[in-house]
Amino acid sequence: MMMHYSQQKIFEMEYYQRTAFINSLSGFKSLNLVGTTNSKGISNLAIFNSVMHIGAHPPLMGLVTRPDSVERHTLANIRESSSYTINHVCKDIFVQAHQTSARYDKEISEFDAVGLTPKFKSNFYAPFVQESKVQIALRLQEIILIRINQTYLVIGEIVEVYFPQDALLNDGVLDIELCNTICGSSLNGYHETHLIERLKYAKP
């Protein structure tokens, strides 16, 4: 049976239930770990479920963050260094990835706290996550304020990509299922995927 929730009904929901409910509505979410380093050389790692494709020409990715959340160290470090990495959450590290969302002090590296390995390469300032199969380095391009709720859309240009050779298909698609990439729902759901089909470019 279909339920109907009006805006009034949503406003009447208990705070955390409403957070969980509204977070369910956009559908499945990408899950990524964002790696940064602050000016004292301390690394930070935070899980994000808001990483998105912005464009391929030039190659751009975005993520949404709020100034007062646990990811605030990430935002501060991106502003400071203009450098960050995006690393797919793969099936074998989702518990550690989730644990990065705890409110650790900024003197503590979440890499150490949760047991993931920071990997420095390509002479890039921010660390990659060694356990992740898809690792991307980005250079900050623009931080856009979303006025209505004081969040930020952070846009970066892709400068390096590491991925398993056998996951690159002939048409340029990276088979992220083969990379063990998983997806999320609401704020707590972790899901593996099963390919139904790849469809051809649609014509009328």
CB of residue 107 vs a copy of itself: minimum separation in angstroms? 12
The conformation of residue 172, written as its DSSP 8-state character, comes to S
Judged by CB, which is closer to a copy of itself: 36, or 180? 180
Q: Does 69 bind a copy of itself (CB under 8 A)?
A: no
Q: Nearest distance from residue 170's CB to a copy of itself, in Å?
A: 8
Stretches 34-42, 74-82, 173-181: which one binds a copy of itself (CB under 8 A)? 173-181
Binding to a copy of itself, residues 8-37 (CB under 8 A): 10, 13-32
5 vs 115, which CB is nearer to a copy of itself?
A: 5
According to the binding rule CB under 8 A, does residue 174 interact with a copy of itself? yes
Q: Rounded CA gap, 17 and 35, in Å?
A: 30
Cα dihedral 8, 13, 19, 20 sign: negative
Considering only residues 87 through 126, tell me which ones interact with a copy of itself, judged by CB under 8 A. 88-89, 91, 94-95, 98-104, 113, 122
Q: What is the DSSP string of 62-101?
A: EEEE-TTSTTHHHHHHHHHHSEEEEEEPBGGGHHHHHHTT
Q: Does 54 bind a copy of itself (CB under 8 A)?
A: yes
Is 59 an interacting residue with respect to a copy of itself (CB under 8 A)? yes
CB 134 within 8 A of CB 91: no
Name which of 40 and 199 has its Cβ closer to a copy of itself: 199
Q: How far is the CB of 41 from a copy of itself (least distance, A)?
A: 21
Please identify, using beta-carbon distances, which residue of 14 and 40 lies nearer to a copy of itself.
14
3-state secondary structure of 173: coil
Whole-angstrom CA distances from 155 to 19, 64, 75, 85, 164 are 25, 9, 12, 12, 25
Nearest to 85 by CA among 130, 144, 54: 130
Looking at the Cβ atoms of 37 and 181, the one nearer to a copy of itself is 181
